[in-house]
Amino acid sequence: MVRPPTMRTLWRFLRWMIQTDPRYSIVLLVLQFATGLLPAASIWVMRALFDRSLAVYEGNLPVEDMLVWIALWVVLALAHEVFRLELFFLLVDRLKQELEDRLLTQLQHKASVLRLETFERADFHDVLRRAQEAASPGFFLNLIGEIHTIITGMLTVVSVALVVGLWNPLLLIAIALVSVPPPLARVLQEKNTFYLKREQTQRERLRAYLERILTERAAAKEVRVFNLGSALLGWWGYLYWQVADRLFQQKRSQSLVNILLAAFSLTGLAASIGWSAWAVANGGLSPGQFAAMMVALQQVSTHVDLVFWRFGYLANRLLYIADLFTYLDLEPEEPKDGVPIDRVGEVPIAATGLSFRYPQAEYPAIDDISFAIQPGERVALVGANGSGKTTLVKVLLGLFHPTQGKVLYGDVDLNRVDRNGLWDQSAAVFQDYTRFAFSLGENIGLGRTEQMGDQAAVERAAHQGGAAPIAEQLPEHYNTLLTKEFAGGTELSGGEWQRVAISRGFMRNAALIVLDEPTASLDPQAEADVFRRFLAMSGERTTIVVSHRLGSARLCDRILVLKEGRLLENGTHGELLSQGGEYARLWALQAQWYGEG
């Protein structure tokens, strides 16, 4: 696995921060420089104060000579507190809001423009999870705080070191030798911890999934009926301790190293202080320099330690930021521009040698399929589960890009088509439709968001899709919230939700219509009613219907029979029955099942 360079990530983050809010970012950086230089100035003033106080004590200077230096020290101390506390947190709080807003916007935008097949990759969801961690509340507040601490700490170390170096360069070298190793080890430890956690991402995702199963309403009944609680909880615990034990073993070895390095650092600091005392006794340092040196030694040691230790934490945070940038840089995206198709329903749709293989899959889901759909034609796709019906529909709609072959809308290759324009003229009701936790009217109106406020259009779509009787039974009718996760809401049955999803498709009033088995929870009579309304509503529009039930499929003009990803048969209901092939076999099986029933 390639490890991203930490400094490159830091510079990219700083550029991104400044681009997000230039004014607050630049003011914050100036404030950091000022805050970092104040300790060195305070030490210089402190040295002058100590020397003058001794001279006043010995009667060599009047006390008035100290007042200016005392006032200067007070001003510096007050500026340090104001810069470090009040102004810093005020600026950071505002900048944090700007960064979080931009990040969440970029995350959501990226998800909306990535090609759909990207979501079929397991490693994509690992990257997405780590990117979302960077968007968690407080992450940017802590990150900016770490950067502030490191910048001010480095400036403090450099400026104070210059003061110490003027008094004795050898002492500065000794301090660096004993101060650098412990925090440097911390940087390496933070990196190793991050990569260990990255290795555990799949286990963490699985553990989070088990948590959802154990706590969410949707799975609660099966967890109880099948007595899954103990088994799932045991599985969760096994995964938890797999991760926790690995992290504890790493922390234990790191702690031993840290203890040894801390002892080494304290020994070196004690030796430096002893040398300073010897220098005063031998006239190498003035009393004021010695007193200021004690503060300077502590400042240098503390800030070197602080900078490296915080840089270790920052390096860990920047690795999450690197994952965030990896997510934002993901390709491929949906094409931004393309050839517009003004009237999708008036051009034929032709597939030639069409194949599609899911990412990380060994075999294609559909393989070498060729056919044509004429304008206004109603076509059914039938076949067993896993035969490639839904995949084919997604390729025809431009949601998936073909692995091989092509789809033509008229004489325009689908890869060159303006997809937003195509989808704006299409309506699709999939078998895994979304149950939005919104009101009934909003669930239907989402089919055409610009008409959500048009109550007449919502009710018309509800009548066409069969959701109107549901609205009549709900307490707030179309304003009833369809979830029990929020107060005042209600829950619908599976069949009722399917009627809502179909009504959302009718709301689209599109030229190309796709119905992908959304009626599986309906009884045969209700399904037949929905199909009849659906086909009646489609009129002269191009229509594609996916169904297991051949009784509904025969209502279409033509039927395509798929098996194991390949197109076996293509014809009308009567033609396919007379051929005695796969369709005739499936028809006989379903007829026998209904007869026995």
- Domains of the chain, first to last: 7-202+242-328 (1.20.1560.10), 343-425+512-597 (3.40.50.300), 433-509 (3.40.50.300)
Lowest-pLDDT range of 12-21, 422-431, 517-526, 571-580: 517-526
- Reduce the DSSP state of residue 373 to 3 states and report it: strand
Mean pLDDT of 377-384: 88
Q: Is the pLDDT of residue 466 over 60?
A: yes
How confident is the model at residue 596, as a pLDDT? Answer: 45
Q: What is the mean pLDDT of residues 572-595?
A: 82
Q: Which of 154-168, 405-419, 425-439 has the lowest mean pLDDT?
A: 154-168
- Looking at residue 190, its pLDDT comes to 67
Residue 1 is predicted with a pLDDT of 41
In the chain, pLDDT over 70 holds for what percent of residues? 78
Predicted pLDDT at 3: 47
- Mean pLDDT, rounded, of the chain: 78
172-187: average pLDDT:
64
Q: Say whether pTM exceeds 0.85.
A: no
Q: Can you spell out the DSSP letters for 122-147?
A: HHHHHHHHHHHHHTSTTHHHHHHHHH
Show Cβ contacts of residue 455 under 8 Å, excluding neighbours closer than 6 positions: 441, 478
pLDDT tens-digit profile of 193-223? 767 667 777 777 777 887 777 777 666 656 6
Categorise residue 466: left if φ over 0, alpha if ψ from -120 to 50, beta otherwise.
Answer: left
> Average pLDDT for residues 547-567, to the nearest whole number?
85
pLDDT surpassing 70 at residue 595 = no
pLDDT digits (tens, 9 = 90+) for 134-149: 777 677 767 777 787 7
Residue bearing the bigger pLDDT, 358 or 173? 358
Distance separating alpha carbons of residues 141 and 151, to the nearest angstrom:
16
Spatial distance between the Cα atoms of 381 and 396, rounded to a whole number of angstroms? 12
pLDDT tens for each residue of 396-418: 988 888 899 999 998 888 888 88
**What distance lies between CA 321 and its chain's CA centroid?**
11
Residue 273 phi/psi, 5-degree rounding, is -65, -40
Round to whole Å and give the CA distance between 147 and 320: 15
Residue by residue, DSSP assigns 433-446 as: ----SSBHHHHHHG
Token pair belonging to 456:
């007449």
Q: CB under 8 Å to 595, separation ≥6 — which residues?
A: none
CA-closest candidate to residue 73, choices 302, 300, 292? 292
Question: Is the pLDDT confidence value at 91 over 80?
Answer: no
The reported pLDDT for the residue numbered 566 is: 92
Q: What is the pLDDT of residue 222?
A: 66
Consecutive H or E run containing 426: strand 426-429
Tokens 């809502």 correspond to: 500
Asked if 481 and 437 count as a contact pair (C-beta separation under 8 A), the reply is: yes
> 332-361 pLDDT, tens per residue?
777 777 777 778 878 889 999 999 998 878
Q: What is the pLDDT of residues 277-323, one digit of tens each?
A: 677 677 666 667 677 777 777 777 677 767 766 776 777 788 788 88
* DSSP assigned state of 335: P
